[in-house]
């Protein structure tokens, strides 16, 4: 397939632009590079998990989920943010195209693993949003990191952005259910539902703290 010089704004005039983008070489190449960046970060996390298992006889996280943002979601976000519709602008302005979600058992593990990951000398920490210590108004809790990580291609080294989200099992449970219900008709405008979701988030946060305290007692830290 020949190289194509294109502008997103031209593709946006076509039917089903997200399907067309999947067949455009510059876009496909960039998605491949983001996938490589995900593989790099996942490998680092898996190494830390194996080390914890060997040293402390436990795993610091329950699961890792990775994803590349769908083309239509990328287009919609670019338009919503008012960015130029081009591949170059997409790479420059969007830092969550490649995303990894790490589900941990305890809050302490979140900060421990995040510190170990960002302390590696080939990773640059671009941004931190700590919604655990500073929850969103709706009760959402999570630790978000934007990482700059190098990938090594046949053409040489290239730096890519990857978003890593850390949550406990309880935080992920709440976020998953909140995501499913908030798009239902009139939910966003229901003060009662919003208040109930916030209350559930507070209960879950209290449970996370209590489970952490119990583990500390068992390990003799309390």
* 196 counts as catalytic: no
Catalytic residue among 3, 163, 192, 213: 163
Which of 150, 165, 167, 162 has its CA nearest to residue 38? 162
* DSSP SS3 for 136: coil
Q: Tell which wins on pLDDT, 173 or 16.
A: 173
Q: Report the pLDDT value the prediction gives residue 5, as an integer from 0 to 100.
A: 42
- Residue matched to tokens 């455009």: 24
Stretch 157-182: mean pLDDT: 91
Q: Can you give the pTM of this predicted structure? A: 0.84
Residues near 24 by beta carbon (within 8 Å), at least 6 away in sequence:
4, 6, 11
Determine contact, residues 84/153, Cβ cutoff 8 Å: no
């Amino acid at each position: 397939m020949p190289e194509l010089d294109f502008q997103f704004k031209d593709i946006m005039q076509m039917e089903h632009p997200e399907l067309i983008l999947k067949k455009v070489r510059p876009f496909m190449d960039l998605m491949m590079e983001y996938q490589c960046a995900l593989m790099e970060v996942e490998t680092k996390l898996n190494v830390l998990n194996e080390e914890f298992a060997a040293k402390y006889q436990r795993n610091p996280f329950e699961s890792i989920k990775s994803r590349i943002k769908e083309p239509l979601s990328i287009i919609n976000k670019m338009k919503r943010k008012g960015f130029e519709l081009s591949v170059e602008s997409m790479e420059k302005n969007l830092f969550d195209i490649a995303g990894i979600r790490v589900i941990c058992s305890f809050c302490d593990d979140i900060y421990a693993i995040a510190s170990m990951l960002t302390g590696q000398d080939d990773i640059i920490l671009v941004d931190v949003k700590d919604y655990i210590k500073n929850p969103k108004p709706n009760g959402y809790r999570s630790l978000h990191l934007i990482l700059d990580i190098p990938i090594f291609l046949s053409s040489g080294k290239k730096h890519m952005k990857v978003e890593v989200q850390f949550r406990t099992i309880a935080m992920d449970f709440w976020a998953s259910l909140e995501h499913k219900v908030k798009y239902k008709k009139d939910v966003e405008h229901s003060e009662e539902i919003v208040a109930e979701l916030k209350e559930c988030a507070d209960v879950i946060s209290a449970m996370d703290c209590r489970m952490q305290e119990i583990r500390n007692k068992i390990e003799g830290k309390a």
